[in-house]
Amino acid sequence: MDIKFNEILKEKKSTISKRWLDTMIASYPKDDSGFLMSQKDRFANPVGYTFTKGLDGILEVLIKDEDSAESLQFLNDIIKVRAIQDFTPAKAMAFIFQLKTIVREELRKEIRQNQIYVELLEFESKIDDLALNAFDIYVKCREQIYELRTDELKRMTFTLLKKANLMSEIPDPDPESEPKDQN
Amino acid sequence: MAPKVKLPKPGELSKIEFKNPATDWMDTPVEFKPGTYCWGAKEKDLLTLGLPNPRQWSPADEDWKIPDGWESTIIEGIAERLSKYRSFKVFMDICVRCGACADKCHFYIATGDPKNMPVLRAELLRSVYKKYFTKSGKFLGRLAGARELNMDVLKEWWSYFFQCTECRRCSVFCPYGIDQAEVTIIGRELLNLVGLNIDWIAGPAAACYMKGNHLGLEPHAITGNIESMVDDIEDITGIRVNPTFNRKGAEIMFVTPSGDLLGEPGIQTCMGYLMLFHELGLDYTWSTYASEGGNFGFFTSNDMAKRLNYKIYAEAKRLGVKYIIGGECGHMWRVLNQYMDTWHGPADFLEVPVSPITGTVFENAKSTKMIHISEFTADLIKHKKLNLDPSRNDHLKVTYHDSCNPSRGMGLLDEPREIIKAVCNNFYEMPENTIREKTFCCGSGSGLNASENMEQRMRGGFPRANAVKYVREKHGVNMLANICAVDRAALPALMDYWNPGVGVTGVTELVGNALVMKGEKERTTNLRFEDLPGKGGNE
């Protein structure tokens, strides 16, 4: 990506990061105490901490223009929280697309002056990649919620099934004896 | 039936309003979304318990089938409780909205929903109290924070009083000592007056009333389950332990939550009890009648809790034991430690507990005559009465979750830690503001450990899981120890979601693994039939 674009982005990083967090927090119920933003202790406010650290981390990776794999852990941490809160899938994931709007607004003047529209589009494509990864993570979290329910049932009934001789152990397949090439 | 989902058109998607409407809390009605509430109590269970308004209903329905005149039932219910419980009256009047409790609730921390602030949760009820019981509320209405009782308010109560786990973390921080759990308890009592309980509470309470325990295990199932644990212990140690049931004249009666008799990892904790008592040669008996230490009546009403608790002293008297030892459980201990003596004491027919091994007199249980297994075990360890090999737990890096009720309800803070340190070589504490009196709830206490509300549980448990995550990343912690049956049932799911790879164990399971029993064969597996470090039993 163009160095100029990244430099401008870097300069504006703290503003963008703050706006991004503000937008995220605005999706929560009205709360005059501003707890999610103001409490900085990571154990007293795990949601706020996860978002602050995560959003900033994602932005950092995007600006460094490096492999996006590094941002996946941040994305994972954030989406795990969003996936079990009171949001529809669209609302839970909206924060990723909101970054586009924020960057466009914050960098409007600079983009026009430097004519770096192509670079903006390239940057937005990276956000799209992030969104695709986010969908995978979100769906995995939601699936896991249902798995947890069945696992819990299994833990509760395992003893009974064993006593009634309704359980049979399936031995672990020996990796050595597995045919390596099926073709 | 699940609500129909209308798919938005592409054009509509971009017009989503990301900000929530900024309405005042009184003007924000509650929504019931699947995954975030428990199922309503079943007709048959309310009939069994003799509770009002038994019928089939669902919280997702518009009509909750509440009988006409319910408003006066609730108002009269409030009046009765104001006159009966001074604490309730004080808690309604004394709060100065200082906000010290506000950000201490795990549900608030994880949802950001102001109605989960303890102060506002109490205000849901307090606003109605003001309207009908205070002059300012009667005349000034909303200006004085008062509001009419209507169906929306009732539904809001149901939602939020069943989003409080009665963990009492907020009360630790309240300068006036307002016990929010008691406000929730009264709130739930009032809801029960018109038939509004949840299935996960009413079901176990009804089973306990009929069969003696929450799981509805009949005597032969209890003895059968314990016998199969005895078989497993023999496979692992070569020693056959011999528990007795309903034996008159035993010195001690042992009562544990029925969760320890069925389901993992409760049964491994139970195996630990069996091994420990056998090794000590303790003169004790199980009861298939007083077969439940826990008390889901406590999450229904004072009367129901009292009724279900009765059997413990009654059975101790029938069997003629000297005192009672109780297993690892959470709310069970708040009930036993703070209510049982008032309800059914004084237990003059029992003696002050004295450890037959160390001679220690448990003065703290002078009145209730019932001691916690962790007090008993910690005393044995202090007097070096147990032969322990902590290296058997060397594959574990353990942290300890203070279960809310034993820590805040009875001050049991150091005993479990002393035990863990004696039976494990790797123990790491979670951060200071998440343990001991300030411990974070598992998010599933007070009857909320159903599975239909899994999302709600994952939220409520997030602050706890977040602290576990920290010690997992910092020290490689892979085992979360606790002394509560609900923890053992609920935390595995919480860990699977937030911290995959972290297991859950009762403290006494760790003891069972480390305990070197007289005449035992060389152990190759732990109580879960997993290879011991360096032994390779299943290899």
B390 Cβ neighbours under 8 A, 6+ residues apart: B422, B423, B424, B425, B514
pLDDT at B13 over 90: no
Tell me the pLDDT band of B366, cut-offs 50, 70 and 90: very high
Pure H helices in B249-330: 266-280, 302-319
Same domain for B289 and B366, yes or no, is yes
> What is the distance, to the nearest Å, from the Cα of residue B117 to the centroid of all Cα atoms in its chain?
20
**Residue whose structure tokens are 């491994």:** B268
Q: How far is A10 from chain B (nearest CA, A)?
A: 26
Show the domain range for B344: 205-514
Same domain for B174 and B215, yes or no, is no
Chain B CB within 8 Å of residue A30 CB: yes
Alpha carbon distance B499, B513 (integer Å): 24
- pLDDT at site B18: 53
Q: Is B525 contained in some domain?
A: no
Same domain for B384 and B448, yes or no, is yes
Q: Is B20 contained in some domain?
A: no
Alpha carbon distance B274, B509 (integer Å): 10
Same domain for B386 and B320, yes or no, is yes
Output the domain CATH number for residue B67.
1.10.1060
pLDDT at B17 over 70: no
B227 Cβ neighbours under 8 A, 6+ residues apart: none
Residues of chain B in contact with residue A27, where contact means CB-CB under 8 angstroms, are 18-20
Same domain for B183 and B42, yes or no, is yes
Q: Is B50 contained in some domain?
A: yes
Q: How far is A66 from chain B (nearest CA, A)?
A: 25
Helix H or strand E segment including B438:
none
Q: Is A179 contained in some domain?
A: no
- pLDDT at site A164: 73
Same domain for B313 and B290, yes or no, is yes
Query: Chain B 172-231, CB below 8 Å of chain A: which residues?
Result: 224-225, 228
- pLDDT at site B5: 63
Same domain for B376 and B502, yes or no, is yes
Q: Is A169 contained in some domain?
A: no
* Domain end (from B159, B174, B197): B197
Average pLDDT of chain B, as a whole number: 94
Are the beta carbons of B267 and A159 separated by less than 8 Å?
yes
Count the domains in chain A: 1
* Domain end (from B146, B171, B197): B197
Are the beta carbons of B113 and A29 separated by less than 8 Å?
yes
**Residues B275/B233, Cβ–Cβ less than 8 Å:** yes
Chain B CB within 8 Å of residue A87 CB: no
- ipTM of the predicted structure? 0.89
Q: Is B330 contained in some domain?
A: yes
Give me Rg for the CA atoms of chain A: 22
Q: Is B302 contained in some domain?
A: yes
Same domain for B298 and B428, yes or no, is yes
Count the domains in chain B: 2
**Residues B250/B489, Cβ–Cβ less than 8 Å:** no
Alpha carbon distance A175, B3 (integer Å): 47
Show the domain range for A105: 3-163
Q: Is A81 contained in some domain?
A: yes
B39 Cβ neighbours under 8 A, 6+ residues apart: B58, B59, B198, B199, B200, B450, B452
Q: How far is A95 from chain B (nearest CA, A)?
A: 9
Chain B CB within 8 Å of residue A135 CB: no
Report in angstroms the alpha-carbon separations of B510 from B258, B388, B426, B502. Answer: 19, 10, 12, 15
Q: Is B12 contained in some domain?
A: no
Q: What parts of chain A have a pLDDT lower than 50?
A: 180-183
Residues of chain A in contact with residue B470, where contact means CB-CB under 8 angstroms, are 42-43
Alpha carbon distance A81, A55 (integer Å): 13
Query: Taking chain B, what is the end-to-end CA distance rounded to the nearest angstrom?
Result: 50
- pLDDT at site B28: 86
Q: Is B527 contained in some domain?
A: no
Query: Chain B 6-45, CB below 8 Å of chain A: which residues?
Result: 8, 13, 16, 18-23, 28, 33, 35-36
- pLDDT at site A182: 47
- pLDDT at site A30: 79
The contacts found for A141-145 with CB under 8 angstroms, 24 or more apart, are A141/A79, A141/A80, A141/A83, A141/A84, A141/B497, A142/A83, A144/B496, A144/B497, A145/A83, A145/A84, A145/B35, A145/B454, A145/B455, A145/B458, A145/B497
Same domain for B409 and B430, yes or no, is yes
Are the beta carbons of B431 and A43 separated by less than 8 Å?
yes
Q: Is A120 contained in some domain?
A: yes
> What is the distance, to the nearest Å, from the Cα of residue A93 to the centroid of all Cα atoms in its chain?
8
Q: Is A44 contained in some domain?
A: yes
Residues of chain B in contact with residue A49, where contact means CB-CB under 8 angstroms, are 466
Of A42, A44, A144, the CB nearest to B497: A144
Name the residue with higher pLDDT: A66 or B250.
Answer: B250
Q: Is B9 contained in some domain?
A: no
Q: Average of pLDDT values for B409-436?
A: 97
**B371 DSSP 8-state letter:** E
Chain A CB within 8 Å of residue B394 CB: no
Same domain for B410 and B509, yes or no, is yes
